[in-house]
Every structure is written in C-alpha cells, then in structure tokens.
Amino acid sequence: MSDGMVITVGVLGGTGKEGSGLAMRWALQGYRVIIGSRDAERAATRAAELNEQIGGDYIIGLGNDDAAQQAEIVVLSVPYSAHKPTLEGVKPHLDGKILVDVTVPLQPPKVRTVHLPPGQAAALEAQSLLGDAVRVVSAFQNVSAVKLKKTDTDVECDVLVTGDDDDAKQQVIRLVEAAGMRGIDAGPLANAVAIEALTPVLLYINKAYGIKSSGIRITGIE
C-alpha cells in the first residue's frame, strides 16, 4: 500500500501454481488482485477457486489485456514459451508501470540444467521488448510454489530483486514482504541472469535430496 491507497496488482499467469500463490498472499494483505489468463473464463473460474481457499471475495479473474490495463503493478508468471507472446499482447497497457518478471527460461525436458536464452535473461528480454517506458523488475524466481500456497505461514526463502530503477525495486520489495518473505536488493537488471539461473539448480537439488521446496537465504544481513 502507498499513502493509504489500495494498489492493484495484476498477475498474468495467475492461474498457475506460483502466480496463484502470490495472488492469494497479496489479496490477504489488502491489495486489489486481478489474475489474468489468455482465457478470461478460465481466469474467472480460477479466481473463484482461490477465493474459496482463502475464505473471501478478494480476487477477480480477467483476460490478460484487461488485467494489465487495470493494474498499477503487473506481475508476469508464465512459462518461458509464453513469455514473449504474452508481453507483446499486453505491451500497449504497460507504459509507466512496473512489470515484475517471474519467468525462468527453462528448456524442457532439461529443466534442471541452466539454459541462457538469446537475451541472457527473460527479464532483460522483457525490458528490451517493452522499452524504457516500462520499469522491469526481476523477482520471485527462486521461491517454491509449494510454500507459497500455504498462506498461513511465512516462506523460508529470501527473494532477490533486480532492476535498473531504485524506486521500482523498493516497491517490489514491499510486495515481497507482503507475501511473507524478505526482499533483497540484488542490483541492476543484468544480475537477473544469475538469479534466473539458480532456479534449475534448485530443481536439481529438490530431486537429488527428495524434497520439493528448496530455497535460498542470504546470510550476514540483520
């Protein structure tokens, strides 16, 4: 929240596991949350399911265009294969806004091996496609969806936040805190290359150790 005003967050890909977990957590903290999908009916159905889970009429579901248009902060949580087409579709609605890119450039079936996309990072590709009128911030790539959906507990994971606009990063760090995690300013958007690449490493660790929710902690910060 800012100056007592309710902030509208649009989660594109909010019908998926990570997007829906974040949507529920933000809705419970008083944000106005819209989940977006290519299929508006699917988004509305999923919003109703999420509202039932958290016991209230908090979240609405719309098509991606409408969700992006109404939101002040847009969160992109889609598979990498849908990253570019989704951005191209909503680009007219993003000027002057913050785009939080959660996308990881996984390359199935080798999702436990680091894959660098042509633009080095999904977030860098988003910034290049959208232009300087949109403030792209990279965050949430290393958080387990299993933990996010347990909305009554804090998540034992730090969130590395990168971006080239300091104010935008601070706004996203507040979103991180609202979702029950600690946000860490991890530098410019170029550093998203390393952070996105951590996700397949964590997926490998999950399989190697028979767990589902490995995460990261930054030590030495009080």
Per-residue pLDDT tens over the stretch 169-208: 999 999 999 999 999 999 999 999 999 999 999 999 999 9
Mean residue pLDDT across the chain: 95
Confidence at residue 153, expressed as pLDDT on a 0 to 100 scale: 86
CB 70 within 8 A of CB 10: yes
How many angstroms separate the CA atoms of 60 and 45, rounded? 9
Six-digit token string for 161: 């936040």
- At 2, is the pLDDT very low, low, confident or very high (cuts 50, 70, 90)? very low
Percent of the chain predicted with pLDDT > 70: 98
Confidence at residue 4, expressed as pLDDT on a 0 to 100 scale: 54
Answer whether residue 92 shows pLDDT above 90.
yes
Mean pLDDT of 213-219: 94
Q: How do residues 104-123 score in pLDDT, each as one tens digit?
A: 999 999 999 999 999 999 99
Mean pLDDT of 67-81: 97
Confidence at residue 68, expressed as pLDDT on a 0 to 100 scale: 97
Answer whether residue 59 shows pLDDT above 60.
yes
Task: Provide the sign of the torsion angle of the four alpha carbons 203, 205, 209, 212, taken in this order.
Answer: negative
Mean pLDDT of 23-28: 96
